[in-house]
Amino acid sequence: MCGIVGYIGGQQAAPLLLEGLGRLEHRGYDSAGVAVLGGGTGRSTVRIARRAGRVRDLAESLPARFAGRCGIGHTRWATHGPATDANAHPHTDASGRVAVVHNGILDNAGLLRRRLTEEGVELTSETDTEVLAHLVARSVAPTLEGRVAEALALVEGTWGLAVLHADFPDRVVVARNGSPLLIGVGDKEMHVASDLAALVRYTTTVAHLEDGEMATLTATGFTTYRQDLTATATTARVLEVDPASYDAGEHESFMRKEMLEQPAAAERVLRGRLDDRFATAHLGGLGLDAREARAVRRVKILGCGSAYYVGQMGASLIEELARVPADAEAASEFRYRNPVIDPDTLYVAVSQSGETVDTLLAVQEIRRKGGRVVGLVNVVGSAVARECDGGLYLHAGPEVAVASTKALTTMFLGFALLALQLARVRDLSIAEGRRLVDALRALPEQIAEVLDTEADLVAVAKELAEAESLFFVGRVRGFPVAREGAQKFKEISYRHAEAYQTSELKHGPLALISPAVPTVAIVPDDELVERNVAALHEIAARGGPLVVLTHAGVDLGDLAATRIDVPRSERELDPILLTIPLQVLAYHAAAHLGHDVDKPRNLAKSVTVE
Active site residue 506: no
Return the CA Rg of the chain. Answer: 26
The yes or no reply on residue 373 touching ligand F6R (CB under 6 A) is no
Pick 331 or 547: Cβ nearer ligand F6R: 331
By CB under 6 A, name the one of 87, 92, 103, 359 that touches ligand F6R: 359
The yes or no reply on residue 307 touching ligand F6R (CB under 6 A) is yes
- For residue 579, the one-letter residue type is T
Residue of 413, 385, 157 lying closest to 273 (CA atoms): 413
Q: How far is the CB of 167 from ligand F6R (least distance, A)?
A: 39
Catalytic residue among 2, 70, 304, 388, which? 2
CA atoms of 106 and 157, how far apart (whole Å): 4
Pick 1 or 37: Cβ nearer ligand F6R: 1
- From 92-100, 348-356, 363-371, 573-581, give the range in contact with ligand F6R by CB under 6 A: 348-356
Q: CA distances (Å), 209 to each of 71, 179, 270, 406, in order?
A: 19, 10, 31, 28
Q: What's phi and psi for 140, nearest 5 deg?
A: -110, 15
CA atoms of 29 and 159, how far apart (whole Å): 19
The DSSP bridge partners found for residue 76 are 31
By CB under 6 A, name the one of 177, 179, 262, 306 that touches ligand F6R: 306
Active site residue 388: no
The yes or no reply on residue 316 touching ligand F6R (CB under 6 A) is no
The yes or no reply on residue 304 touching ligand F6R (CB under 6 A) is yes
Assess whether the previous peptide bond of 90 is cis (omega < 30° from 0). Answer: yes
Q: How far is the CB of 300 from ligand F6R (least distance, A)?
A: 16
Binding-residue total with ligand F6R (CB under 6 A):
15
Pick 182 or 607: Cβ nearer ligand F6R: 607
8 A C-beta contact, residue 408 and residue 314: no
Contacts of 18 (CB under 8 A, 6+ apart): 34, 55, 58, 59, 62, 73
The yes or no reply on residue 356 touching ligand F6R (CB under 6 A) is yes
Which helix (H) or strand (E) element contains residue 576? helix 574-592
The yes or no reply on residue 403 touching ligand F6R (CB under 6 A) is yes
Q: How far is the CB of 488 from ligand F6R (least distance, A)?
A: 6
The yes or no reply on residue 305 touching ligand F6R (CB under 6 A) is yes
- From 185-193, 235-243, 303-311, 556-564, give the range in contact with ligand F6R by CB under 6 A: 303-311
Pick 255 or 561: Cβ nearer ligand F6R: 255
8 A C-beta contact, residue 138 and residue 116: no
CA atoms of 6 and 219, how far apart (whole Å): 12
Q: How far is the CB of 607 from ligand F6R (least distance, A)?
A: 5
Q: How far is the CB of 13 from ligand F6R (least distance, A)?
A: 30
Contacts of 476 (CB under 8 A, 6+ apart): 316, 528
Planar angle of CA 223, 397, 215, nearest 5 degrees: 10
Site residues (CB under 6 A) for ligand F6R? 304-307, 351-353, 356, 359, 403-404, 487, 491, 606-607
Which amino acids are annotated catalytic? 2, 605
